[in-house]
Amino acid sequence: MSNLAVTVYKIGGGIIDDAAELTKFLGLLAQTTGPKILVHGGGKGASAMMRELGLTPTMVNGRRVTDAATLDIVVMFYAGKTNKEVVANLQRLGVNALGLSGADGNVIEGVKRPVKEVDFGFVGDLTPASVNKNLIISLLQGGITPVLCPIIHDGQGQLLNTNADTIASAVAVALAPDAEVTLHYCFEKNGVLRDVNDDNSVIPDIDATRYEELKTQGVIADGMLPKLENAFAALHQGVSRVIIGHALHINSELRTVLCLK
Amino acid sequence: MSNLAVTVYKIGGGIIDDAAELTKFLGLLAQTTGPKILVHGGGKGASAMMRELGLTPTMVNGRRVTDAATLDIVVMFYAGKTNKEVVANLQRLGVNALGLSGADGNVIEGVKRPVKEVDFGFVGDLTPASVNKNLIISLLQGGITPVLCPIIHDGQGQLLNTNADTIASAVAVALAPDAEVTLHYCFEKNGVLRDVNDDNSVIPDIDATRYEELKTQGVIADGMLPKLENAFAALHQGVSRVIIGHALHINSELRTVLCLK
C-alpha cells in the first residue's frame, strides 16, 4: 500500500445548494486521475424541509442542534437525497462512486457528544479509532470512489449527525500510514487570501514557519484560523499536504498548498 | 466461488412500518449464519411525509407514480432513513451491513419505464444485465452484508424508484452462476396456505409439478399467484430454492420451500 496516493476532497453546503455549480464540480472531479474520496456536507435543503414540516432548525455556534425529528430529516437529506444524487452523477461521468454513511461497513463509528453547556442532541464526535480504514482502502483498490456523507453511527444502533470537515480530516489522517494523502478543502474562495477582500491575493504556499508568521501578522484571522489550525493538525498527523481552494478550480494552480515544510 | 452459499432476504413495507417487528426481525437475521443480502421495500413513511408536505401520493396497480417531487421523497426515505436505520441496527447486532442503492458502485443499473397506458414517471425496470454481481460477491467475500433499497439508477445520472421484490429476484438470479442461492421472501403470513383463512395450513414444500396441481385445484390464486410465478421464474433461472414465510419465522421450519423438483 505504500505507493498508494489518494486525495480526499471535501465540499460544503454552498456548492451542494447550487445544482449548476455542483454539476460543474463533479465534472472537474471526474477529470482528476488517481484514487479519490469525496466527503460532502449538508446544505440548506434539510432546514428548508424542516420549516415546511413545521419544525424549527436550531444552530448553536454554527452547529445544528439535532433532536430526533431533526436527525430523521438530516439522515434523509444527507445520506439519502444528496449522497445518492452525487453518486448517480458521478456514475454518469464514469466515476465508480459508492455512497457511505459511517454506519455502512462500520466505516466511521463515533460517540454522541456529551452534554455540557449545550445539548446538541444526536450529534457525533469522532475518536482516533473512529475510521475503519481497511474498508476504504479495499474500495479504493477496487477502483471505487467512496462518497461520504456527514452521518455516522455509535455502534449501538444510533445514527449521529456530524461535520463534513471533521470526517474529511479524520479519513485523511487514518489513511496516512498507508498512503500519501492529499486533503483538498473546496470552498467559495480561491485559497488563503492575503487580503480577504481580494480573491486574487491567494498565498500559493504556506509551511509551518510561514503559518506562524502569517498569524503573527494578523493575515490569518477569523474564520480562516480554525480552518488552518485543523489543516496543520492533519499535517502533523501524517497527511502529506492540504489544499484549500475554490471548488471550481480543483485542477488549477490557483489555490493554497499547505505543508509542514 | 462455487462453494459460496448465499441467502437473499426480502422484507416489505409491512415490517418496515412496524419498528418493534423490524427490530425483532433484524435480531433473527443476525442469528443466521453464512453470507446474506437484505433487500428492503419502502413502507408508508414516504406517503405520510408527502401528505405532510401537501403532495398527493398516486398509486396505479399497486405501483407508485413517481414524479420529480415524489422521487425526492422516496430517495430520502428508502435510501436515507430506512436503509441507514436498518444498517445501524444490524451493526449493533454484530452484522457488518453496508447499505446500497443501485447507483452505489453501479450495483443495479436499470431503465426508466417506457410510457404506455400509464406514465409512471421516474420508475425503473431491470434488464438481465442490470445487476453488477462482482461488487456484491466481493462484499460478501469481505464478510459484509449488503442492504439494498429499492432505488436504482439509469447510468445517466437519473435515480429511479423500483420494487424490492424485483430487486431481490434479480440479485438472486445474477448470483446463481457463482453461488448456491436461496431467495427468502418474508411477508405477513406463515407461507403458502392451503386455506387462506388458516395461517396454520402452510404447505411445507412445493415443486414444479405440485405447483401446477395447486394452480389447477385453485388453491393458489389471487395475490399468491404472481408471487409464485416470480418465484418459479427465479428457480428456472438457476436459483436453488425460494422460501416464503413470515418475517419472524425465518429461522423456523414453519414456511413454504419452493424447488423445481
Q: Average pLDDT for residues A47-56, to the nearest whole number?
A: 91
**Is the pLDDT reported for residue B143 higher than 70?**
yes
pLDDT digits (tens, 9 = 90+) for A27-39: 999 999 999 999 9
Residue A179 corresponds to which amino acid? A
Q: Average pLDDT for residues A189-197, to the nearest whole number?
A: 92
**Is the pLDDT reported for residue B259 higher than 90?**
yes
* Positions at the binding site of A for substrate: 42-43, 64, 161
Q: Average pLDDT for residues B234-257, to the nearest whole number?
A: 96
**Which sign does the torsion angle of CA B190, B248, B147, B5 carry?**
negative
Instruction: To the nearest 10°, report the CA torsion of B213, B217, B218, B219.
Output: -70
**Which sign does the torsion angle of CA A9, A13, A14, A15 carry?**
positive
Closest alpha carbon within chain A to B148: A104
pLDDT at A176: 97
Q: How many C-beta atoms surround the C-beta of residue A167 within 10 A? A: 29
- At A132, is the pLDDT very low, low, confident or very high (cuts 50, 70, 90)? very high
Mutate to test the interface with A, among B76, B154, B161 (most CBs of A within 10 A): B76
Average pLDDT of the residues of chain A? 95
Residues of B in contact with A81 (CB under 8 A): 72, 75-76, 80
Locate B91 and state its grid cell: 451493526
Calculate the alpha carbon distances from B197 to B192, B200, B229 in Å: 11, 9, 21
Residues of B in contact with A95 (CB under 8 A): none
pLDDT at A2: 56
Q: Which residue has the higher pLDDT, B49 or B108?
A: B108
Question: Per-domain residue ranges for chain A?
Answer: 5-187
Give the distance from residue B233's alpha carbon to the nearest chain A alpha carbon, in angstroms: 30
pLDDT-above-70 percentage for chain B: 99
Residue B213 corresponds to which amino acid? E
Q: Average pLDDT for residues B173-180, to the nearest whole number?
A: 97
Point out the residue among B78, B88, B106 whose CB comes nearest to the CB of A159: B88
Question: The domain at A5-187 falls in which architecture?
Answer: 3-Layer(aba) Sandwich (3.40)
Point out the residue among A84, A103, A155 whose CB comes nearest to the CB of B75: A84
> Number of residue pairs across A and B with CB atoms under 8 Å?
115
Per-residue DSSP letters for B54-121? T----EETTEE-B-HHHHHHHIIIIIIIIHHHHHHHHHHTT--EEEE-TTGGG-BB-EEPPPSSS--B
Average pLDDT of the residues of chain B? 95
Cβ contacts of A170 within 8 Å, gap of 6 or more: A108, A126, A130, A131
- At B2, is the pLDDT very low, low, confident or very high (cuts 50, 70, 90)? low
B124 is annotated as contributing to ligand binding? no
**Is the pLDDT reported for residue B63 higher than 90?**
no
Instruction: To the nearest 10°, report the CA torsion of B204, B237, B230, B246.
Output: 40
d(CA A206, CA A187): 18
Residues of A in contact with B72 (CB under 8 A): 81
pLDDT at A40: 98
**Is the pLDDT reported for residue B1 higher than 70?**
no
Per-residue DSSP letters for B212-255? HHHHHHTSS-TTHHHHHHHHHHHHHTT--EEEEEEGGGTTSS-S
**Is the pLDDT reported for residue A1 higher than 50?**
no
Residues of B with CB under 8 A from a CB of A: 49, 52-53, 72, 75-81, 83-85, 87-89, 91-92, 96-101, 103-106, 135, 138, 142, 144, 151, 153, 155-159
Please state which CATH number belongs to domain B4-187. Answer: 3.40.1160.10
B96 is annotated as contributing to ligand binding? no
Q: Average pLDDT for residues B84-108, to the nearest whole number?
A: 98
Measuring CA to CA, which residue among B144, B5, B119 is closest to residue B68?
A: B119
Q: Average pLDDT for residues A230-255, to the nearest whole number?
A: 96
- At B221, is the pLDDT very low, low, confident or very high (cuts 50, 70, 90)? confident
**Is the pLDDT reported for residue B169 higher than 70?**
yes
